[in-house]
Amino acid sequence: MKFAAAVAIILTAVNCIAEPLFDLNYIVEKKFLTCNKEQVMIPEKDKKLTLVLPAGAEAIKLSIDYVAMKKGNWSQYNTFLLEIENTSLETVSLKLNFIRRAIDDSLIQEENPLYDRKIILLPGKNTIKLNVESLSGSPSRVFLVEETTLIFKNETTKAITLKIKELSVLYIEDE
């Protein structure tokens, strides 16, 4: 019986090794998340953040400041996780940017400071997992992440509601 309990604990721990570096609640509560249109961002008590994207092509930009948060060193983590629910039947475009700087010989050097990725959010749940090493361009390169921007674009004629359910950096053991 003790063996079965130990195996269950080990299997549970295999997927995610440590506490996340940060999570969505921490970012929203400490006000490290800013939006170019404050009225579209609605924090909720159940660990979600609702965004109401107005109709038309105006972009909504969320920014996360890791320098102010003092959580820019992601070297002990391997996954950036973003989970968004698109409650409409329409798609939404998301441009995901990471501003980062390489650390070489104890000096911070600007090198390839921006990582861009365009993502289409389909109706329903969308899970985006990025390997943190891919942000640096090299597995041996240590870097500091300064900021992440999420730029949402609604090109329909009606408002679209998105629910951000998870936003974190964590270490996930290989599956």
Domain harbouring 30, CATH code: 2.60.120.260
C-beta atoms surrounding 80 within 10 Å: 22
Per-residue tokens: 2: 């003790």
Q: Is residue 73 in some structural domain?
A: yes
DSSP-derived letter for residue 172 is B
The residue range of the domain holding 93 is: 19-170
pLDDT surpassing 80 at residue 16 = no
Q: What secondary structure does DSSP assign to 7-28, as a single string? A: HHHHHHHHHB-S--SB-HHHHH
Per-residue tokens: 6: 């130990």
pLDDT digits (tens, 9 = 90+) for 96-150: 999 887 776 556 556 666 788 999 999 999 999 998 877 766 666 677 888 999 9
